[in-house]
Amino acid sequence: EIVLTQSPGTLSLSPGERATLSCRASQSVISSYLAWYQQRPGQAPRLLIYGASSRATGIPDRISGSGSGTDFTLTISRLEPEDFAVYYCQQYDNSPTFGQGTRLEIK
Amino acid sequence: QVQLVQSGGEVKKPGASVKVSCKASGYIFSNYGISWVRQAPGQGPEWMGWISGYKDSTKYAQRFQGRVTVTTDTSTSTAYMELRGLRSDDTAVYYCATSKGSSPYDSFAIWGQGTMVIVSS
């Protein structure tokens, strides 16, 4: 099983700032089968990025994904109030696994 | 639009079973597989298993093998997840989700609203 470790656990930033979230895999994720989700309280996860860098339908271009192998990054270039939530990475190279999440909170 | 609507919350005693349903609409049910993902309070999501739209193929996470069964009823476009031998640490929100694809290993673009299952004596 591929273990995903996300950092930091909590990120405190202000609206308008840039957020950089990290996801490290315990072994290489072949074909960049890595996704990112946003989850707000009481809601289901929402797909943001798939294939490490492709935006899902309706996701603004200030949200981007990058990386390959074992190191992946989610970047939000200019934080909006609705961006403050919990973010999870997921690999689907084989039996899907998720990271433990990064909480993005307002500073 | 593609939508997944799940059954309501459940309270079960340890050792019991629970069966959660997920009704799909907005697409041809047999075209896409459905996965089941659970999320315990304060934890990240956890993939449990998958069934193809034709219900001829299933995949399960190793830790749930033998305790979970996923099925479909194509006549009603509904998927089911049954979990047996419930323990207190099975308390979680259970989601169905689809990638709108045919692979068991995929990202999930569409999610149900979630079903809270509480296991308590």
Assess whether pLDDT exceeds 70 at residue B73. Answer: yes
**Residue A77 burial class via C-beta count within 10 angstroms: exposed 0-12, middle 13-18, buried 19 and up:** middle
Sign of the torsion angle spanned by Cα atoms A46, A4, B99, B25: negative
- Greater confidence (B118 vs B55) lies with B118
Tell me, yes or no, if A100 comes closer than 8 A to chain B by beta carbon: yes
Assess whether pLDDT exceeds 70 at residue B55. Answer: no
Summarised one tens digit per residue, pLDDT across range A7-49 is: 999 999 999 999 999 999 999 998 789 999 999 999 999 999 9
Task: List the single residue in A47, A95, A101 with the smallest CB-CB distance to B109.
Answer: A47
- Greater confidence (B26 vs B112) lies with B112
Chain B residue with minimum CA distance to A90:
B107
Give dist(CA A46, CA B17) in Å, integer.
Answer: 29
Q: What is the mean pLDDT of residues A87-99?
A: 95
Instruction: Give how far A43 is from chain B: nearest CA, Å.
Output: 7
Q: What is the mean pLDDT of residues B89-94?
A: 98
Q: What is the mean pLDDT of residues B7-24?
A: 97
Q: Which two tokens stand for residue B14?
A: 């340890």
Tell me, yes or no, if A58 comes closer than 8 A to chain B by beta carbon: no
Q: Are strands A102-106 and A10-13 parallel, antiparallel or unpaired?
A: parallel
Could you write out the DSSP letters of every residue in A35-54? EEEEE-TTS--EEEEETTTE
Summarised one tens digit per residue, pLDDT across range A59-73 is: 999 999 999 999 999
Provide the pLDDT for residue B5. 98
Assess whether pLDDT exceeds 80 at residue B81. Answer: yes
Provide the pLDDT for residue B99. 87
Task: List the single residue in A1, A50, A99 with the smallest CB-CB distance to B107.
Answer: A50
- Calculate the CA dihedral of residues B71, B14, B94, B43 and round it to 10 degrees: -140
Q: Is B94 helix (H, G, I), strand (E, B) or coil?
A: strand
Task: Determine the number of helices (DSSP H) and then strands (DSSP E) in chain B.
Answer: 0, 11
Assess whether pLDDT exceeds 80 at residue A92. Answer: yes
Tell me, yes or no, if A67 comes closer than 8 A to chain B by beta carbon: no
Assess whether pLDDT exceeds 80 at residue B54. Answer: no
Neighbours of B116 (CB within 10 A): 13
Assess whether pLDDT exceeds 90 at residue B53. Answer: no
Q: Is B77 helix (H, G, I), strand (E, B) or coil?
A: coil
Chain A residue with minimum CA distance to B112:
A44
Is-contact B70 B51, C-beta < 8 A? Answer: yes
Q: What is the mean pLDDT of residues B78-87?
A: 97
DSSP tag of A31: G
Give dist(CA A107, CA B18) in Å, integer.
Answer: 42
Sign of the torsion angle spanned by Cα atoms A10, A54, A35, A28: negative
